[in-house]
Amino acid sequence: MLEMKEQLKSELSEAKTAEAVEQIRIKYLGRKGIITTLAKNTDFSKLSVEEKKAFGGKLNELKSFAEEALTAAKEMAAASHVAKKSTGLDLTLPGSSGKLGSLHPISLIQMELETIFQGMGFTVVSSPECELEYYNFDAVNLPADHPAREMQDTYWMTNGMLMRTHTSANQVRTMEKMGVPLKAIFPGRCFRNESADMSHENTFYQCEGLMVDENISVANLIAVMKTLLSEIFHRDVTVRLRPGFFPFVEPGFELDLQCIFCSGAGCSTCHGTGWIELIPCGLVHPNVLKFGGVDPEKYSGFAFGVGLTRLAMMKYGIPDIRLFNAGDLRFNEQFPVYI
């Protein structure tokens, strides 16, 4: 009888539905069931009083055990059926392991830049994407009739505001808000009414940097840019400055990085020149300091506006800028969860 109990237990553990449990009940307790037959086929007249007592006791115990085990198995099967029906979940199935998400390459490069600049004592400032014409153009020395406005066509709101064309729009806001001396960066999204190709998008990211204090010179600018680039590319870098025109800086420069792929020998990334044009920058124009309420006789500063999207392309070897905004998970999933 002990064996029969074990066999019953093992069969019930396999039974997942009410129907399967019922089949087992019939097998053991039905009219021709194993336990019923055992009782029927025993010739009690041949047993002594003690034997009858002992056998009858064990048989009753086996019957009660079977009835209780069958009732419990039936309830469990019913409960699992309800859970499956109401939630669509089968809690008895083995679990599936979760998949870790990854960060967008722009988020990765932005986080990296923020960490580098915070290490140099810069504050990270958030700034509006939808701007007043004043801050985007006039306050950075680009009055309404200035021909350089042509180079930054954008999207205008019906209320006269615009989607900012560059993060330089936050220069005067930051001077007004923080006063001087100041060291700040403001990364963010910019918009230009341009048709997209491999290296141009209508929506892209820049990171502006602004440092204003007494006696700030081009030497400070170069030192900060070299620190930034050597940290980003994890190696010593060589840079050069070429004259560049931006109405909000004087003098203005294009900072070129000696090609990190060919060390200046010339390759397809640098179009055979050995240099990669990377960061427009310069010393803040006295007019912009004045718009920010800063005395240009006492203070000077530098500003730069690095294209974050293009920097990410170089760092991660992304050949086409249009991949960033395409929303294709096969692209996004190639980047690490954390740097």
Residues that bind ligand FA5 in the complex, under the rule CB under 6 A: 166, 168, 192, 194, 200-201, 204, 206, 208, 246, 249, 252, 280-282, 303-305, 307, 309-310, 321
Q: Closer CB to ligand FA5, residue 53 or residue 271? A: 271
Q: Which strands form 182-191's sheet, in the order they lie side by side?
A: 123-124, 182-191, 203-213, 300-307, 275-284, 249-258, 239-243
Query: Nearest approach, Cβ of 92 to ligand FA5 (angstroms)?
Result: 53
Q: Is the Cβ–Cβ distance between 308 and 207 less than 8 Å?
A: yes
Q: Is the Cβ–Cβ distance between 311 and 255 less than 8 Å?
A: no
Tell how far CA 124 is from the center of its chain: 19
Q: Closer CB to ligand FA5, residue 80 or residue 107? A: 107
Q: Closer CB to ligand FA5, residue 35 or residue 288? A: 288
Please identify which residue in the block is written with the tokens 């008895």.
92
Q: Closer CB to ligand FA5, residue 55 or residue 233? A: 233
Query: Nearest approach, Cβ of 89 to ligand FA5 (angstroms)?
Result: 46
Query: Nearest approach, Cβ of 123 to ligand FA5 (angstroms)?
Result: 17
Query: DSSP per residue over 45-87, as a string?
Result: GGS-HHHHHHHHHHHHHHHHHHHHHHHHHHHHHHHHHHHHHHH
Q: What is the DSSP letter of 121?
A: T
Q: Which of 197, 164, 168, 163 is nearest to 185 (CA)?
A: 168
Query: Nearest approach, Cβ of 261 to ligand FA5 (angstroms)?
Result: 18
Query: Nearest approach, Cβ of 287 to ligand FA5 (angstroms)?
Result: 14
Q: Closer CB to ligand FA5, residue 62 or residue 185? A: 185
CB-closest chain residue to ligand FA5: 307
